A and B are shown apart, each in its own frame.
Chain A
Amino acid sequence: MLDANKTIQLSHGGGGKEMDQLIKSLFFKAFDNPILRAEEDAAKLQLSGPVAFTTDSFTVSPLFFAGGNIGKLAIAGTVNDLAMMGAQPEYLSCSFIIEEGFSIAELKIIVESMAEELQQSGARIVCGDTKVVPRGCADGLFINTTGIGRIIMPNISTQNLSTDDVIIVSRDIGRHGAAILMAREGLELESDLTSDCASLWPMVEQLIAANIPIHAMRDATRGGLAAVLNEWAKASNVGINLIEKAIPIADEVKGLCELFGFEAHDLANEGTFVIALPREAADGAVEILQRYGHCEKACIIGNVVETHLGKVVLTTPWGSHRYLDLPQGELLPRIC
């Protein structure tokens, strides 16, 4: 048995008995399925038709934050990349790079939350890798996940926005970025705010099942809402108008932005997505999203226009306009 009071040693990545013990008693136990259990050099998969394929590495600091941890994030992040392409997440790989001295108890919590998050989408981890690096060569733990999903709804693309589409956001924005900033050293704040970190497939599955004609769909991760909409405006060569007062933002996130001079639409999300779709389908999509507790604030926040091509324009509550640009540089608190 693996002793939860102990720490990861270099020998846990050495390919010998200790590594076998770590893999069997922790990873296999949590992620158990027949393909993984076969212990072949590579997983054998049965695929047919178009598939979506994606990879992401997770290096979040701190590893544990309000509303999740690096493990939950590593599953939700890759599952969401697949879901945003209209693909049902099926197979995941998972690589751990662990710093020597990392707590086995913490690793166990992280792995268990990965297993729990997998249940949201039904995806399975079918192959993996474990490396242990000497102390100082990694920041605790890095995780890479790669995912494959069967495309159920083709033709979702950043290039598909058309005039008269409307833009929907699935919930209040900026929670993950705000939760991480709050947890970071140096910005000592306390709040009930939690990250939005979540797998989005269950909601996407329902949207597809209801034949919602999705033109573009993207989870607003790093760069936030501003990055997604700017990419769309450029890729589809359209203009996007946003109604500032329609954009849902939690009071805690607004407060953090006020304190440090950030904008909620620049902050990262890990379980919030944006959809462009024809106006007539919007109410149906919003209704489906609002069935989910954390998406009760889902709403229309703007529309696609033929003017100011490639740009996103925000309308203030008093009717003036400004560009909503891409965030630039690292997020640093303002000086005064």
Chain B
Amino acid sequence: MSMVNSMQLSYLYQGFRDPATIHSLATEIKKLASGLDTDVNIMEVCGGHTHTIMKYGLLQLLPENIKFIHGPGCPVCVMPKERIDHAIALANQPNVILVSLGDMIRVPGSTGSLANHRAKGCDIRPIYDPLDTLKIAEDNPDKTVIFFAIGFETSTPMTAALIEQAEQQGVNNLLFHINHVLVPPAIDAVMAEKHAKVNAFIGPAHVSVISGAKIYQAAVDQYSTPVVVSGFEPVDVMQSILSIVKQKSANEAKLEVQYTRSVTFDGNVHAQQLVNRYFELRDEFRWRGLGPIAKSALKLKDEFIQRDAEHHFKSVLPTEPIDDHKACQCGDILRGLASPKECKVFGRGCSPQTPLGSCMVSSEGACNAYYRYGEIPHA
């Protein structure tokens, strides 16, 4: 199969990176924003958007009264150290193969990262597609294969599909350690802060492809803030900013979908059913940087307890919460009370190679994006 012979892949995205479109959106935003008497403090909930904003230098195209507060939506960043220690403890069990997604491999727990433990001899395999785990389990019938599942609503259905396949095919040596978290409770946690400055949200399109735009309706109603569900290309983000500025100018607070390419109000109902078949809400989940948030994460339903690594290996999994380094300001950064460069250890004690806090660990973290791309002043 060679799609590139008939169609250039760039056709799929070049319109969304078109300089003329970006410039005219910037001009329109500037014109409308000049009429506003307050700052627009937009929280882009998802680290993918932070990445877009920094990588494409969008801040430089925006007027001073549009500010970004980088949100907690980076699945690797919000994993508390004790959960990373779970992964490491599991990987160190005899006859265990631990499987996880990309970035998870380099996040440090209290005794190094999974990459460090892989170097010491643990069998730890990074994968791209969760369903590849099925083959690893089938190829290693004498081993216990544990899928260390992370991610927001976007990636949960893939884990659910993996469980379904394992159930249907009777692959019984495949267990799961579930760390799937939810966007709306994180928004509530941010807004519960009495000094919260956020007055608009950009929601991630991929989450809403699954869960629908409807998951933000409560936030719009409760906090009277505009929410725009946005794609990840620079034109997408600029268009979403324009929608927010338009709402602010008209004194409105609405739920809008910019990413109409595939987001609907209700989302992918089939995927939601699949998720509901295997998962239920946890009473509480401790988020790195944000602390414990009620009903903010999922766990396996009791009827699938035989696949739950947290149940099987309970005796070896640490339970004590482990906080980040005292100097780390990730909690404030994730709640929008500080910017990465205001943190004393940014770029000094804390860098992508030796991260002290959650925002520096993953390429989607706010501090990591600032470190990589710099915050080059308005041109």
With A320-B56, A322-B57 as known contacts, state yes or no: A254 contacts B9, CB within 8 Å. Answer: yes
Residues of B within 8 Å of A329, CB to CB, are 106, 352-353
Please tell me if A323 contacts chain B, counting CB pairs below 8 Å.
Answer: yes
Bound state CA distance, A5 and B220, in angstroms?
70
Interface string of B337-379 (1 = CB under 8 A from A): 0000000000000001100000000011000000111101001
Please tell me if A255 contacts chain B, counting CB pairs below 8 Å.
Answer: yes
Residues of B within 8 Å of A187, CB to CB, are 128
Residues of A within 8 Å of B2, CB to CB, are 190-192
- Which B-chain residue is minimally distant from A190 (CB atoms)? B1
Candidates B9, B127, B353; contact of A258 at CB < 8 Å? B9
Cβ contact within 8 Å between A335 and B75:
yes
Cβ contact within 8 Å between A332 and B9:
no
- Which B-chain residue is minimally distant from A317 (CB atoms)? B19
Please tell me if B38 contacts chain A, counting CB pairs below 8 Å.
Answer: no
Q: How far is the CB of A259 from chain B (nearest CB, A)?
A: 9
Cβ contact within 8 Å between A322 and B102:
no
Residues of A within 8 Å of B154, CB to CB, are 336
With A186-B127, A186-B132 as known contacts, state yes or no: A261 contacts B9, CB within 8 Å. Answer: no
Of residues B19, B150, B376, which shows the largest number of chain A Cβ atoms within 10 Å of its Cβ? Answer: B376
Q: How far is the CB of A267 from chain B (nearest CB, A)?
A: 15
Q: How far is the CB of B243 from chain A (nearest CB, A)?
A: 19
With A334-B102, A335-B155, A336-B75 as known contacts, state yes or no: A321 contacts B60, CB within 8 Å. Answer: yes
Cβ contact within 8 Å between A192 and B5:
yes
- Which B-chain residue is minimally distant from A192 (CB atoms)? B2
Please tell me if A16 contacts chain B, counting CB pairs below 8 Å.
Answer: no
Cβ contact within 8 Å between A251 and B57:
no
Please tell me if A25 contacts chain B, counting CB pairs below 8 Å.
Answer: no
With A321-B379, A328-B353, A334-B364 as known contacts, state yes or no: A251 contacts B4, CB within 8 Å. Answer: yes
Q: How far is the CB of B210 from chain A (nearest CB, A)?
A: 11
With A192-B4, A258-B9, A335-B102 as known contacts, state yes or no: A320 contacts B58, CB within 8 Å. Answer: yes
Cβ contact within 8 Å between B60 and A320:
yes
Candidates A258, A260, A317, A330; contact of B128 at CB < 8 Å? A260
- Which B-chain residue is minimally distant from A255 (CB atoms)? B9
Bound state CA distance, A333 and B8, in angstroms?
22
Candidates A258, A318, A325; contact of B22 at CB < 8 Å? A318
Which of A186-209 touch B at CB < 8 Å?
186-187, 190-192
Cβ contact within 8 Å between A332 and B373:
no
Residues of A within 8 Å of B128, CB to CB, are 186-187, 260, 333
A: contact size bracket: 20 to 34
Cβ contact within 8 Å between A320 and B57:
yes
Of residues A186, A321, A333, A335, which shows the largest number of chain B Cβ atoms within 10 Å of its Cβ? Answer: A335
Please tell me if A32 contacts chain B, counting CB pairs below 8 Å.
Answer: no
Bound state CA distance, A325 and B368, in angstroms?
11
Bound state CA distance, A319 and B61, in angstroms?
9
With A192-B5, A332-B126, A335-B150 as known contacts, state yes or no: A322 contacts B374, CB within 8 Å. Answer: yes
Residues of B within 8 Å of A322, CB to CB, are 54-57, 373-374, 376
Q: How far is the CB of A174 from chain B (nearest CB, A)?
A: 14
Cβ contact within 8 Å between A330 and B106:
yes
Please tell me if B71 contacts chain A, counting CB pairs below 8 Å.
Answer: no
Candidates A190, A320, A333; contact of B61 at CB < 8 Å? A320
Cβ contact within 8 Å between A335 and B103:
yes
- Which A-chain residue is minimally distant from B100 (CB atoms)? A335
Which of A241-272 touch B at CB < 8 Å?
251-252, 254-255, 258, 260-261
- Which A-chain residue is minimally distant from B204 (CB atoms)? A336
Q: How far is the CB of A260 from chain B (nearest CB, A)?
A: 7
Candidates A255, A260, A261, A319; contact of B379 at CB < 8 Å? A319
Interface string of B61-96 (1 = CB under 8 A from A): 100000000000001100000000000000000000
Please tell me if B115 contacts chain A, counting CB pairs below 8 Å.
Answer: yes
Tell me what chain B mostly uses at the interface: helix, strand, loop, or mixed: helix
- Which B-chain residue is minimally distant from A331 (CB atoms)? B102
Residues of A within 8 Å of B48, CB to CB, are 336
- Which A-chain residue is minimally distant from B155 (CB atoms)? A336
Please tell me if A11 contacts chain B, counting CB pairs below 8 Å.
Answer: no
Q: How far is the CB of B150 from chain A (nearest CB, A)?
A: 7
- Which A-chain residue is minimally distant from B60 (CB atoms)? A320
Q: How far is the CB of A184 from chain B (nearest CB, A)?
A: 10
- Which A-chain residue is minimally distant from B23 (CB atoms)? A318
Cβ contact within 8 Å between B17 and A251:
no
Please tell me if A313 contacts chain B, counting CB pairs below 8 Å.
Answer: yes
Cβ contact within 8 Å between B373 and A251:
no
Interface string of B21-63 (1 = CB under 8 A from A): 0110010000000000000000000001000001111111100
Please tell me if A21 contacts chain B, counting CB pairs below 8 Å.
Answer: no
Please tell me if B281 contacts chain A, counting CB pairs below 8 Å.
Answer: no
Cβ contact within 8 Å between B22 and A323:
no
Residues of B within 8 Å of A261, CB to CB, are 363
- Which A-chain residue is minimally distant from B125 (CB atoms)? A186
Please tell me if B105 contacts chain A, counting CB pairs below 8 Å.
Answer: yes
Bound state CA distance, A258 and B55, in angstroms?
14
Please tell me if A33 contacts chain B, counting CB pairs below 8 Å.
Answer: no
- Which B-chain residue is minimally distant from A193 (CB atoms)? B4
- Which B-chain residue is minimally distant from A325 (CB atoms)? B372
Interface string of A79-107 (1 = CB under 8 A from B): 00000000000000000000000000000
- Which A-chain residue is minimally distant from B235 (CB atoms)? A318
Bound state CA distance, A333 and B104, in angstroms?
10
Q: How far is the CB of A313 from chain B (nearest CB, A)?
A: 7
Q: How far is the CB of B40 from chain A (nearest CB, A)?
A: 19
Please tell me if B152 contacts chain A, counting CB pairs below 8 Å.
Answer: yes
Bound state CA distance, A190 and B57, in angstroms?
33
Q: How far is the CB of A310 from chain B (nearest CB, A)?
A: 12
Please tell me if B315 contacts chain A, counting CB pairs below 8 Å.
Answer: no
Known: A252-B4, A333-B101, A336-B152. 11 other contacts (CB 8 A): A251-B10, A254-B10, A311-B374, A313-B376, A319-B23, A320-B59, A322-B56, A322-B57, A323-B372, A325-B372, A335-B103
A positions within 8 Å CB-CB of B: 186-187, 190-192, 251-252, 254-255, 258, 260-261, 311, 313, 316-323, 325, 328-330, 332-336
20 residue pairs of the A-B complex, CB under 8 angstroms, read A186-B128, A191-B4, A251-B9, A252-B9, A261-B363, A316-B57, A318-B23, A318-B61, A320-B376, A321-B60, A321-B376, A322-B54, A322-B55, A322-B56, A323-B376, A329-B352, A330-B106, A332-B105, A333-B128, A335-B76
